[in-house]
Structure 1
Amino acid sequence: MFCRMDPIIVDLTSENPVYEMSSACMECYREGTTRLMLTSIPYFKEIIVSSFSCEHCNNFNSSVQPASTHAAKGVRYTLTASNITDLNRQVIKSEFATITVPEIDLEIPREAQKGSSSTVEGFLTKTRDGLLDKQPERREVCPDIAEQIDKFCSRLDNLLLVETPFTFILEDPTGNSFVENPNAPEADPFLKTEHYIRSKDDEDLLGITEIKEAQDDEGEEKPQVVQNEESEVITFEAMCNACGKEAVCNMKEVQIPFFKKILLMANICDHCGYKDSEVKSAGGIAEKGQRIKLKMTDSDMDLDRDILKSETASVNILELGVQLTSGALGGRFTTIEGLLNQVKDQLESVNPFSLGDSATRSSASKMSEVIQGIQDIIDHKKLVELIVEDPAGNSYIQNVYAPDEDPNLTVEFYERTEEDNDELGITDMKTEGYEEDAS
């Protein structure tokens, strides 16, 4: 039985309480022991670490489960491994995540190695060991299949030597998986992180569809779309990204002076208290990409500037080596000070292996210096140049001298690359020839 000790969620230290309970062994069906620790990876999220051992047959296994709910979006990490160092990157794979290596047609399904924390090499090596586990029996019963497995494992061994670069893709619809960026807070040129909206199949897999249907079957009166003429706020039914229950979304169209219209969206859940806000452009994608540079000269004035960072924009502070990709913060309409606070919070949570007990001394020192540098900007102790780059052209920093020109603010327009167009979905857009298709 559990011996309840408070607090349940504790820091990741050796003094953490560990709960033990008796459970059946799935190998010999005798009594074994499950050990459970509820903890949190520093600056990442809360997790449940569990292990099972059987003293009768020596069966042992362990797993890692997120103690928090699903993230708002799914996540896809694409790592181009080019040297042995890349094999040592830490990886967290949730129970719903899949790993693929296209070069050798390898796929580690969500059922395999689920709830695991290891390295890139660790996941690939465990896959190889699993394939080789029953090879002596296969060679006796199915020699052709055993030969194919031997050949595949040989290819896997060559891959682990990293004689040529290969692609390691981790995709998780829950958004709770992770691949280490050893260069954090700088962008990693070999690691691409994409946040995506879950599909209907993803929602079915995670049980979100059942939650929606159960709520609909309750027969409760649902909030209708209501427009308040005075405030022009539109309220409609939504689903909470934290607990999956019914929530309310408030949306309002706002005209930013000397820029364009935007949509402010705020989600509120009365069940769990979760709140979230997001900004979206009310218009389409601009003709060209946009790069906005603000050279700070007066902390009082510059920190109070309004800023619109669209969900497709990245944020760079070159003096500190900070590079946050477009998916890091989503869409935000705030002040420069507010954005810097969000950047600081993001850096403290984005990489669990750069801070805390799991970090190396050099990476922890580097990240701490960057976070302190951002705090110095907020505390009016440091002036930097802030760069917001948006291939969709929907971001904005307030010109405090408007309608006159701002001497410290420059806006550059550039031609998007093919990769930019592909990420924005422009490549696959079809705007002509519908009449011919219909006929």
Structure 2
Amino acid sequence: MDPIVVDLTPENPVFEMPSACMSCFSEGMTRLMLTKIPYFKEIIISSFSCEHCHNFNSSVQPASSLAEKGVKYTLTVTNIKELNRQVIKSEFATITVPEIDLEIPREAQKGSSSTVEGFLTKTRDGLLDKQPERKEICPELAEQIDKFCSRLDDLLLVEKQFTFILEDPTGNSFIENPNAPKPDPHLKMEHYIRSKDDEDVLGITEMKENAQEENEEENEEEKSQVVQNEESEVITFEAMCNACGKEAVCNMKEVQIPFFKKILLMANVCDHCGYRDSEVKSAGGISEKGQRITLKMTDSDMDLDRDILKSETATVNIPELEVELTCGSLGGRFTTIEGLLHQIKDQLESINPFSFGDSKTPSDKKSGGAMSSVIQGIQDIIDHKILVELIVKDPAGNSYIQNVYAPDEDPNLTVEEFERTAEDNDDLGISDMKTEGYEDDTS
């Protein structure tokens, strides 16, 4: 049986089906192509055309499930070149430009693949559509639209820098990083936990309610149980699968890391679709100072087997390869150095789909080559061919690399404390915390 989702090649099958044109109500043709963007995600490309009225539209939708968290991209556009960055906007994503109070809602240009310039140009063209009729019916509104479109034209000329924000609760949208695998000084990516409103829009709330009702009908016993083992307690409770939305099982256990602190290991298993994932959380609070841990590898056999705890607030840097994994990437992980390198390699292969395959343009060849070089470099570390320096910087102070000489000092491991910046405190939410000085305003 041929696979439903195939690689992006000219030989891919295109499914055609007759469908009604919403413009002239004649019969048109819808074409569907289920494919993969190299090193990104599975997508569905659809287009509709009508030979009677020449109506045409197209869209891009993810064929994969929701990501674990929502994503927010903030791009600072400083020159014309930035307008050429590729953008994928899912049907639930919004685009905003605060400088001119522009918002492209999820209902507009949904399921689109274009450039920054393309989204702004299409917005301007949409506003100017039927402007002559509007000037006759409501000249004041037409004048306001003309002024706003003039401001959009100024943006497209990049006479001064502006901010292009793409926010998607599904986590399936994307803005190109032409500097990959290096960090992009103009592009900031943040992962966030979906709000209740986001879950309502995505239908997650309804999935949870349905799963809860099904479970109550099948089993009226206690939903949480505690399983004792020789070392500590494993707490098992019900959760929702991030892949299929059905009921799954989450196992949580508190573990003491020698010469460090306690952590929470969490593993989710779904019996319906087979999806599995794991995450690590600190069982303690935020440390008084941040920490920078530097490991200078001298023995591949020993160093690759070292345990490492990378919290979700930590960044990972390998200077020799000029690669940095930003805060939030991979979430919290408790593994070995070798295991983390495999995960970084997989992450790098997914961060810039436009530098590979049919998505690649001539200008992408250099960045694509740099990406391949870094990925090969990480593989060389795993294969014991090269030795590098690994730096883990965590403003929360909740990360750890095993000291194989403990309780003595490790000559190849350096742990430095540093004062957090105001930006670090904002990212950790410390600036908004108030733990003392409360007064009863009513007294």
TM class by shorter chain equals: over 0.9
Correspondent of 2:155 among 156, 159, 182: 159
Distance 1:393 1:130, change over 3 A: same
- 2: CA distance, partners of 1:262 / 1:328: 19
Q: Which residue of 1 aligns with 2:331?
A: 330
- 1: CA distance, partners of 2:118 / 2:219: 51
Alignment partner of 1:124 is 2:123: no
Q: Secondary structure at the match of 2:430?
A: coil
Alignment partner of 1:369 is 2:373: yes
Q: Which residue of 1 aligns with 2:203?
A: 207
Correspondent of 2:424 among 408, 420, 424: 420
Amino acid corresponding to residue 277 of structure 1 in structure 2: S
Q: Which residue of 1 aligns with 2:218?
A: 220
Q: Which residue of 2 aligns with 1:237?
A: 238
- 1: CA distance, partners of 2:372 / 2:330: 20
Q: Secondary structure at the match of 1:212?
A: helix
Runs of 4+ deviating beyond 4 Å: none
Q: Which residue of 1 aligns with 2:251?
A: 250
Correspondent of 2:41 among 42, 45, 54: 45
Distance 1:395 1:437, change over 3 A: farther
- 2: CA distance, partners of 1:247 / 1:413: 40
How far has the Cα of 1:415 moved from its partner?
A: 0.8
- 2: CA distance, partners of 1:328 / 1:46: 20
- 1: CA distance, partners of 2:312 / 2:14: 41
- 2: CA distance, partners of 1:85 / 1:330: 32
Deviations 1:209-234 (A, max 9, x none): 11111122222227622222324111
Aligned-pair Cα RMSD in Å:
1.2
Where do residues 53-132 of structure 1 align in structure 2 (5 Å cutoff)?
A: 53-132=49-128
How far has the Cα of 1:327 moved from its partner?
A: 1.4
Kindly indicate whether the alpha-carbon contact (under 8 Å) linking 1:355 and 1:367 is maintained by their aligned counterparts in 2.
no
Between the two proteins, what is the percent identity of the paired residues? 82
- 1: CA distance, partners of 2:355 / 2:396: 31
- 1: CA distance, partners of 2:234 / 2:371: 41
How far has the Cα of 1:6 moved from its partner?
A: 2.0
Q: Which residue of 2 aligns with 1:142?
A: 138
Kindly indicate whether the alpha-carbon contact (under 8 Å) linking 1:73 and 1:196 is maintained by their aligned counterparts in 2.
yes
- 2: CA distance, partners of 1:162 / 1:297: 49
Consecutive unaligned residues of structure 1, counting only runs of 5 or more, are: none
- 2: CA distance, partners of 1:23 / 1:121: 31
How far has the Cα of 1:437 moved from its partner?
A: 5.2
Alignment partner of 1:196 is 2:192: yes
Q: Which residue of 1 aligns with 2:353?
A: 352
Amino acid corresponding to residue 410 of structure 1 in structure 2: T
Count, aligned residues: 435
Correspondent of 1:187 among 172, 175, 183: 183
- 2: CA distance, partners of 1:257 / 1:414: 23
How far has the Cα of 1:361 moved from its partner?
A: 1.7
How far has the Cα of 1:134 moved from its partner?
A: 1.1
Kindly indicate whether the alpha-carbon contact (under 8 Å) linking 1:348 and 1:355 is maintained by their aligned counterparts in 2.
no
Alignment partner of 1:300 is 2:298: no
Q: Which residue of 2 aligns with 1:284?
A: 285
Alignment partner of 1:379 is 2:383: yes
TM-score normalised to the size of structure 2? 0.96
Deviations 1:184-233 (A, max 9, x none): 11111111111000010000000011111112222222762222232411
Amino acid corresponding to residue 372 of structure 2 in structure 1: S
How far has the Cα of 1:351 moved from its partner?
A: 1.6
Amino acid corresponding to residue 198 of structure 1 in structure 2: R
- 1: CA distance, partners of 2:330 / 2:356: 20
- 1: CA distance, partners of 2:16 / 2:326: 42
- 1: CA distance, partners of 2:441 / 2:226: 38
Q: Which residue of 1 aligns with 2:10?
A: 14
Q: Secondary structure at the match of 2:375?
A: helix
Q: Secondary structure at the match of 2:147?
A: helix
Amino acid corresponding to residue 427 of structure 1 in structure 2: S
Consecutive unaligned residues of structure 2, counting only runs of 5 or more, are: none
